[in-house]
């Protein structure tokens, strides 16, 4: 048994997956009064990159918990995405977002526990040379697909989940700059994680 499918790896993966699924279920339930049905409530959650990233983490960690292997580039991209989720929320969005009660609990799972647990899992349980700088472009796949989705959904509904993607507010020129900056941010975080991975592996 390798480190990725060791007992400790599977236990942490299972805990992470269960916590995320519980938070998604609870948040959907909490939104029923506002949204009317479970399908609509869950569908509206999918407007957010945070939710897509958490679902991906739940699936990947659940797969690991079952004893199966997950491709290393996918785990690297997932760790990078959740790094961005945590950083963007706590540096840019949290100042205007003050959830109460159980909403606060689910918010902590989505923006703190899931990122920390998934990144820690990736740092500790993946092989030292699993990914390299040549793998960096993979971190861009999810944000590019999500940006296309968010802009299309925003054009249809008028709702933009993140202010820096709000075309009605910024216009195309500024929006292009925002997207370029975000893309570079993903690449920079991916490179930073690679460096951190090497440091952790050297000390292991």
Higher pLDDT, 168 or 3: 168
The mean predicted confidence, pLDDT, of the chain is 91
118-163 residue pLDDT tens:
999 999 999 877 777 888 889 999 989 999 999 999 999 999 988 8
pLDDT of residue 171: 84
Give a three-class secondary structure readout of the chain.
CCHHHCHHHHHHHHHHHHHHHHHHHHHHHHCHHHHCCHHHHHHHHCCCHHHHHHHHHHHHHHHHHCCCCCCHHHHHHHHHHHHHHHHHHHHHHHHHCCCCCHHHHHHHHHHHHHHHHHHHHHHHHCCCCCCCHHHHHHHHHHHHHHHHHHHHHHHHHCCCCCHHHCHHHHHHHHHHHHHHHHHHHHHHHHHHHHHHHHHHHHHC
The tokens for 173 are: 């020129």
Query: At 182, is the pLDDT very low, low, confident or very high (cuts 50, 70, 90)?
Result: confident
Whether 104 shows a pLDDT value over 60: the answer reads yes
* Phi/psi of residue 89, nearest 5 degrees: -65, -50
Residue 192 CA to residue 186 CA, distance in Å, equals 10
Are 137 and 180 spatial neighbours (Cβ–Cβ below 8 Å)? no
Whether 1 shows a pLDDT value over 60: the answer reads no
Instruction: Please state the pTM of the whole predicted model.
Output: 0.92
Distance, first Cα to last Cα, the chain? 18
pLDDT of residue 74: 94
Of 46-55, 73-82, 92-101, 152-161, minimum mean pLDDT range: 92-101
pLDDT of residue 112: 96
pLDDT of residue 204: 60
Mean pLDDT, residues 86-106 taken together? 90
* Phi/psi of residue 43, nearest 5 degrees: -60, -40
Residue with tokens 């961005």: 84
Residue 2 CA to residue 125 CA, distance in Å, equals 9
Nearest to 110 by CA among 46, 163, 67, 40: 46
Please give the distance of CA 14 from its chain centroid, rounded to a whole number: 17
Max mean pLDDT range (15-24, 83-92, 140-149) = 15-24
Query: At 36, is the pLDDT very low, low, confident or very high (cuts 50, 70, 90)?
Result: confident
Cα radius of gyration (the chain): 17
Residues contacting 197, CB < 8 A, separation 6+? 122, 123, 126, 128, 131
Mean pLDDT, residues 3-11 taken together? 84
């Amino acid at each position: 048994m390798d480190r990725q499918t060791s007992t400790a790896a599977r236990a942490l993966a299972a805990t992470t997956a269960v916590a995320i699924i519980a938070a998604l279920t609870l948040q959907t339930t909490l939104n029923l009064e506002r949204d009317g049905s479970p399908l609509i409530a869950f569908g509206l959650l999918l407007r957010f990159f945070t939710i897509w990233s958490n679902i991906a983490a739940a699936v990947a960690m659940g797969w690991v918990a079952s004893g199966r292997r997950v491709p290393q580039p996918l785990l690297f991209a997932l760790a990078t995405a959740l790094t961005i989720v945590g950083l963007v929320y706590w540096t840019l969005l949290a100042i205007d977002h003050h959830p109460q009660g159980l909403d606060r609990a689910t918010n902590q799972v989505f923006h703190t526990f899931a990122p920390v647990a998934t990144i820690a899992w990736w740092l500790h349980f993946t092989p030292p040379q699993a990914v390299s700088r040549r793998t960096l472009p993979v971190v861009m796949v999810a944000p590019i697909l999500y940006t296309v989705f968010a802009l299309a959904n925003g054009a249809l509904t008028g709702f933009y989940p993140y202010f820096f993607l709000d075309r009605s507010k910024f216009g195309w020129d500024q929006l292009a700059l925002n997207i370029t900056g975000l893309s570079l941010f993903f690449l920079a975080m991916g490179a930073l994680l690679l460096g951190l991975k090497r440091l952790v592996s050297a000390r292991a």
